[in-house]
């Protein structure tokens, strides 16, 4: 197991190297780079002393864009492995500082939606499977399909219209109310929590459909297995059949899938955060991308890549942990 883990980690490093290289090439060749925008802006200022071309050359040197793609990548890589991720061009603070400022909002949002997703989708999936072809089954299936099909912006817009515009329960967007500064410490926490409700509902709605269908499919497969018939033939109470024999086996694919999504809790929800102006990591990365902020994007995407690789590894390790049949080698 240890040998396997080490091997996988070494592979991951290799994969990461190439992934980041590809991302760097893409960022470097963006049609309207940060440096060009900046140079144009400076050159067109009243009283500008240098032309656009001169500014461009200057800034390229300043920002390290004059070393070419490969050279630039290795400079970035050299700094990154030493823990120096540089300063964000768009936010003008160290990249890690901006990350630290934003990631915890994303984590809170992701974690809460993850919990709700599990609490709602798994019991629904199991019920639907147990009552296959019943009204309950068809109803949950239709709901799941609707949830899967609706795009995030649509859900968010409908929620905003109903809960905010019509009912006036929540603010349209943002993380704080107008009177935030006048509130007590506890009141401030409540205020922020209240602003997280609509993004949370959005995230839960778009994610439960998939998990519910996944649970249902797996549960159905297990319920039709011979060993469930064996358990019933043994005269074990139906509750034990479902909870012990069936769910334990449904659990295997579920755990591996959910284990794989764990690192995703930190990666933020780019669209939802942007729609509700939640200053999480997703929103920050979106803003950075629109401004071609290479250091921050490189950092954020490296972070996501590491999380994804880690998620796959966790899911494989969990598989071995929960399924006695699997031996990793």
Partner 1 sequence: MQEMNNNPVRQSDYLLEVENLVKWFPIKSSFFKRTVGNVKAVDGVSFKIRRGETMGLVGESGCGKSTCGRTILRLQEKTGGEVRLNGQDIFALNKEQLRKLRPRMQIVFQDPYSSLSPRLPIGEIIGEAVREHGIVPQGEFDDYITRVMEVCGLPPYYKDRYPHEFSGGQRQRICIARALALSPDFIVCDEPVSALDVSIQAQIINLLKKLQADFGLTYLFISHDLSVVEHISDTVGVMYLGSMVEYAETGKIFANPLNPYTQALFSAIPIPDPDAHIHRIILQGSIPSPANPPSGCKFHTRCSHCMEVCKHAAPKWLEVEEGHWCACHLYDDAQAKAEAEEAMARAKRSQAQAG
Residues forming the site for partner 1 (CB under 8 A): 133, 225-227, 229-237, 240, 244-245, 248-249, 252, 323-325
Least distance CB 117 / partner 1 (angstroms): 24
Tokens of 124: 């629904």
Task: Output 58 or 323, the one with its CB closest to partner 1.
Answer: 323
Task: Output 206 or 252, the one with its CB closest to partner 1.
Answer: 252
Task: Output 18 or 133, the one with its CB closest to partner 1.
Answer: 133
* Distance linking the first and last C-alpha atoms of the chain: 7
Least distance CB 141 / partner 1 (angstroms): 14
Least distance CB 228 / partner 1 (angstroms): 8
Task: Output 153 or 227, the one with its CB closest to partner 1.
Answer: 227
Task: Output 157 or 230, the one with its CB closest to partner 1.
Answer: 230
Candidates 105, 87, 102, 107; CA nearest to 34 is 87
Task: Output 137 or 191, the one with its CB closest to partner 1.
Answer: 137
For residues 325 and 319, what is the distance between their CA atoms, to the nearest angstrom? 9
Candidates 224, 257, 209, 204; CA nearest to 129 is 224
Task: Output 40 or 234, the one with its CB closest to partner 1.
Answer: 234
Distance of CA 82 to the CA centre of its chain: 26
Least distance CB 223 / partner 1 (angstroms): 12
Least distance CB 16 / partner 1 (angstroms): 35
CB atoms near residue 27 (< 10 Å): 22
Per DSSP, helices labelled H in the chain are: 2-28, 34-43, 52-63, 68-81, 95-130, 135-149, 152-159, 185-195, 197-223, 226-234, 238-240, 247-261, 270-275, 281-290, 294-322
Tokens of 76: 């970035």
Residue keyed to tokens 């500082």:
97
Least distance CB 143 / partner 1 (angstroms): 20
Task: Output 179 or 226, the one with its CB closest to partner 1.
Answer: 226
For residues 125 and 210, what is the distance between their CA atoms, to the nearest angstrom? 10
Q: Any idea how long the chain is?
A: 329
For residues 78 and 64, what is the distance between their CA atoms, to the nearest angstrom? 13
Is the alpha carbon torsion for 25, 302, 295, 17 positive or negative?
Answer: negative
Least distance CB 232 / partner 1 (angstroms): 6
Task: Output 206 or 223, the one with its CB closest to partner 1.
Answer: 223
Least distance CB 120 / partner 1 (angstroms): 25
Least distance CB 174 / partner 1 (angstroms): 48
Candidates 131, 111, 108, 107; CA nearest to 119 is 111
Distant-in-sequence, close-in-space partners of 212: CB < 8 Å, separation ≥ 6: 120, 121, 122, 124, 125, 128, 140, 144
């Amino acid at each position: 197991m240890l040998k396997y883990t080490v091997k996988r980690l070494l592979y991951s490093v290799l994969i990461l190297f190439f992934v980041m290289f590809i991302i760097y090439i893409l960022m470097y060749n963006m049609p309207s780079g940060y440096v060009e925008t900046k140079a144009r802006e400076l050159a067109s200022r009243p009283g500008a002393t240098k032309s656009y071309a001169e500014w461009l050359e200057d800034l390229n040197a300043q920002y390290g864009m004059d070393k070419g793609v490969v050279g630039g990548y290795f400079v970035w890589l050299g700094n990154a492995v030493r823990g120096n991720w540089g300063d964000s061009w768009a936010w003008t603070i160290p990249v890690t500082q901006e990350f630290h400022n934003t990631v915890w909002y994303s984590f809170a949002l992701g974690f809460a939606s993850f919990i709700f997703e599990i609490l709602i989708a798994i019991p629904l999936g199991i019920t639907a499977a147990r009552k296959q072809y019943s009204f309950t089954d068809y109803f949950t299936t239709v709901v799941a399909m609707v949830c899967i099909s609706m795009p995030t912006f649509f859900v968010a817009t409908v929620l905003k219209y109903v809960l905010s515009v019509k009912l006036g329960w929540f603010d349209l967007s943002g993380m704080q109310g107008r009177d935030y500064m006048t509130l007590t410490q506890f009141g401030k926490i409540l205020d922020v929590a209240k602003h997280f409700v609509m993004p949370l509902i959005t995230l839960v709605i778009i994610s439960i459909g998939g998990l519910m269908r996944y649970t249902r499919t797996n549960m159905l497969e297990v319920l039709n297995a011979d060993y469930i018939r064996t358990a019933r033939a043994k005269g074990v109470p139906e509750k034990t059949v479902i909870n012990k024999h069936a769910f334990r086996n449904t659990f295997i694919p579920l755990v591996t899938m959910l284990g794989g999504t764990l690192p995703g809790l930190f990666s933020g929800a780019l669209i939802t955060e942007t729609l509700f102006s939640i200053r999480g990591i997703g929103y920050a990365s979106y803003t950075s991308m629109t401004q071609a902020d290479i250091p921050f994007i490189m950092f954020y995407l490296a972070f996501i890549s590491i999380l994804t690789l880690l998620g796959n590894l966790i899911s494989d390790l969990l598989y071995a942990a929960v399924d006695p049949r699997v031996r990793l080698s």
